Structure 1
Amino acid sequence: MTPDTNLDDLTPEQLAAQWEEEKPPAAGALANAASSLVVLAVGIAAAALSTAMGLGTPDKPQPGLWPFLISIVMVALGLFQLIAGRHNRDAEKFTRMSAAPLTGLVTLAAMVSLMPLIGFELPALVLCVIWMRFLGGETWRSTLVVSAAVVISFYAIFVLALNTSVPHLF
Structure 2
Amino acid sequence: MSAIKQLGLLGLLFLLLSSSCQKEKRVRIFELAYQNLEFDIPAGFNGSQALIFEFPELKTNFESFLNQSGADPATVGGIFPLNARITSFDGTEYYYIQEVEIRVCPSIQADCTAQIDGVFYIEELNGRADDDIDLQPGLQNVKDLMSGEYFRVEVVLFLDFGQITPFDQPSRLDMTFEVTE
Larger relative helix fraction: 1
- The TM tier, using the shorter chain, reads under 0.3
TM-score (norm 1): 0.20
Larger relative strand fraction: 2
Higher relative contact order (CA 8 A, sep 6+): 2
